[in-house]
Amino acid sequence: MKLRILGCSGGIGANLRTTAMLLDDDVLIDAGTGVGELTLDEMVGIDHVFVTHSHLDHICSIPFLVDTVGYLRSTPLTVYATRETANALRTHVFNDYIWPDFTRLPRPEAPYLQFREIGRDQTVTLAGRRITVLPADHLVPAVGYWLDSGAASLVFSGDTGPNDALWEIVNNIGNLRYLIIETAFCNRDYAIAICSRHLCPSLLAAEIGKLRLPAEIFITHLKPGDRMLTMSEVVAALPAYQPKMLEHGQVFEF
């Protein structure tokens, strides 16, 4: 497996893109503004999008993607999401007010977009690649994903606050190599992190204290104005792990 980071910021700005990751050439993990980094040919090649939750910074490029390449494809783009997330997208985005309903356009029998509902602990296998739904605890129903090539695994937490259920699963992944985990806020904004169900460095340290396996840790979803401060606090909180900031354009092979 090869995972390319198209966007990993908690906000926008010059050279900052929100969450989107390209798995090999045909799968997106979330579809934030980072999808705009892809060429037209690369976008045409995407067959599957796995969504963590319905917040705009993770789904905003799905409407543009289907509108841009739908007519160039012979099959619908498949969006994998929990029932709650799929319903939110149907109701609030693909409703003909915010964006055309491409689940029935250009023709109901040949749409540009289709949803496939997935649930916690479910595994989808695509050409030997195992993508398993992980629990997350966020303001809206949310999940993370476990990507398993067979040789090694990468876990993406998605947007989450403290989450005991995640570690119960992660601690049983025998081939775990990489952990990408969010830390949206610096410690100054601990109260905001709690009420928005995100992590800050002190909360992250408590979460990583539940990890019983070695892993390379990468921090995502940093707020642009505080990302250096937040990373310095993360590094100070987790000296044994030497965590690194997830970078736009970074590639993981596993």
Q: Give the Å distances, CA to CA, from 7 to 18, 64, 122, 149, 166.
A: 5, 16, 25, 22, 23
The verdict on whether omega for the bond into residue 106 sits within 30 degrees of 0, i.e. cis, is yes
Residue 194 to residue 202: CA distance in whole angstroms: 11
15-64: per-residue pLDDT in tens?
Answer: 999 999 999 999 999 999 999 999 999 999 999 999 999 999 999 999 99
Q: Give the Å distances, CA to CA, from 60 to 32, 56, 97, 164.
A: 5, 5, 15, 29
Spell out the domain ranges in the chain.
2-253
Query: Looking at residue 5, what is its pLDDT?
Result: 98
- As beta bridge partners, residue 251 has 4
Contact 158, 57 (CB under 8 A): no
103-134: per-residue pLDDT in tens?
Answer: 999 999 999 999 999 999 999 999 999 999 99
Query: Looking at residue 178, what is its pLDDT?
Result: 98
Query: Looking at residue 46, what is its pLDDT?
Result: 98
Query: Looking at residue 30, what is its pLDDT?
Result: 99
Collapse the DSSP code of 88 into the 3-class scheme (helix H, G, I; strand E, B; otherwise coil) and give the result.
helix
Query: Looking at residue 23, what is its pLDDT?
Result: 98
Q: Exposed e or buried b for every residue in 240-252, given b needs 16+ CB within 10 A?
A: ebebebbebebeb
Query: Looking at residue 191, what is its pLDDT?
Result: 98
pLDDT above 90 coverage of the chain, percent: 100
Token pair listed for 88: 């939110």
| Band of residue 228 on the pLDDT scale cut at 50, 70, 90 | very high
Averaged pLDDT, 74-82 = 98
131-178: per-residue pLDDT in tens?
Answer: 999 999 999 999 999 999 999 999 999 999 999 999 999 999 999 999
Query: Looking at residue 251, what is its pLDDT?
Result: 98
Averaged pLDDT, 195-215 = 98
Query: Looking at residue 38, what is its pLDDT?
Result: 98
Q: How many CA atoms lie within 13 A of 3 on its CB side?
A: 28
Query: Looking at residue 244, what is its pLDDT?
Result: 98
Averaged pLDDT, 204-222 = 98
Query: Looking at residue 170, what is its pLDDT?
Result: 98
What superfamily in CATH does domain 2-253 come from? Ribonuclease Z/Hydroxyacylglutathione hydrolase-like (3.60.15.10)
Query: Looking at residue 188, what is its pLDDT?
Result: 98
Q: Give the Å distances, CA to CA, from 105 to 2, 64, 74, 205.
A: 32, 14, 14, 47
pLDDT above 70 coverage of the chain, percent: 100
Averaged pLDDT, 177-195 = 98
Query: Looking at residue 216, what is its pLDDT?
Result: 98
Token pair listed for 213: 């396996």
Averaged pLDDT, 181-195 = 98
Averaged pLDDT, 70-79 = 98
Of the candidates 108, 198, 210, the residue with the CA atom closest to the CA atom of residue 168? 210
Average pLDDT score over the chain: 98
**Residue position matching structure tokens 């090539």:** 149
Q: How many CA atoms lie within 13 A of 185 on its CB side?
A: 19
Of the candidates 49, 45, 69, 47, the residue with the CA atom closest to the CA atom of residue 60? 49
